[in-house]
Amino acid sequence: MSFHLPKLPYEKTALEPYISRDTLNFHYDKHHQTYVTKLNELVEGTGFAEMELEDVIRETEGNKDFIGIFNNAAQVWNHTFYWHCMKKDGGGKPTAPLLKRLEESFDTYENFCFLFKQAALTQFGSGWAWLVEEAGALKILKTPNAETPLTKDVKTLLTCDVWEHAYYLDYQNRRPDYVDTFLNHLVNWDFVEKNLHS
């Protein structure tokens, strides 16, 4: 086995009532695990089996011969990153100096929330909303399916999974409520801060 499912950084009930244990039972144990299992099947006997996950993603991105490996590898990485983007009693306005960075790039924290939510809601179908640092400025991106800013020349700071499997059990079709809750109650700003200085 080349790749493993990393441990969740908290208990399955830690994000309740905002994200339920049921959601994590499916999202982590089933969806995330399946990406790991499929990736291992696809790389078996290839040079990718010996590579770091990040290198597999960078090497296979945009290559139609390796689309399955890219999709599963990127989803393994995106999900591990996403789990760390949340914590118990997270969300709300971060403290300085991160708040200052957000204000420099988005004018106000409220405008950052508006733009992040807009990216999350306008990602048609499955995908991800991201906060990244590019050339010294903070920027919001959205990516479809498994695509990830990891392959771009940016520093990845924060993500919100907007695949339906991330929120359907708790919010059904109400993606806006899920994204509001993510911003107001779940974001792990300590992790964002750590990424900014990595």
Rounded-to-integer distance, Cα 164 and Cα 194, Å: 28
Do residues 117 and 176 make contact, with C-beta atoms less than 8 angstroms apart?
A: yes
For Mn ion, the binding residue among 161, 179, 189, 192 (CB under 5 A) is: 161
Query: Half-sphere exposure of 152 toward its Cβ, with a 13 Å CA cutoff?
Result: 16
- Say whether residue 163 binds Mn ion (CB under 5 A): yes
Rounded-to-integer distance, Cα 84 and Cα 78, Å: 10
For residue 150, which of 24, 34, 62 has the smallest C-alpha distance? Answer: 62
Q: How far is the CB of 78 from Mn ion (least distance, A)?
A: 7
Nearer to Mn ion among residue 81 and residue 106 (C-beta): 81
Q: How far is the CB of 189 from Mn ion (least distance, A)?
A: 21
Q: How far is the CB of 49 from Mn ion (least distance, A)?
A: 24
- Say whether residue 170 binds Mn ion (CB under 5 A): no
- Say whether residue 61 binds Mn ion (CB under 5 A): no
Stretch that binds Mn ion, among 108-116, 118-126, 161-169, 184-192 (CB under 5 A): 161-169
Contacts of residue 107, Cβ cutoff 8 Å, sequence gap at least 6: none
Nearer to Mn ion among residue 71 and residue 105 (C-beta): 71
Binding site for Mn ion (CB under 5 A): 161, 163, 166
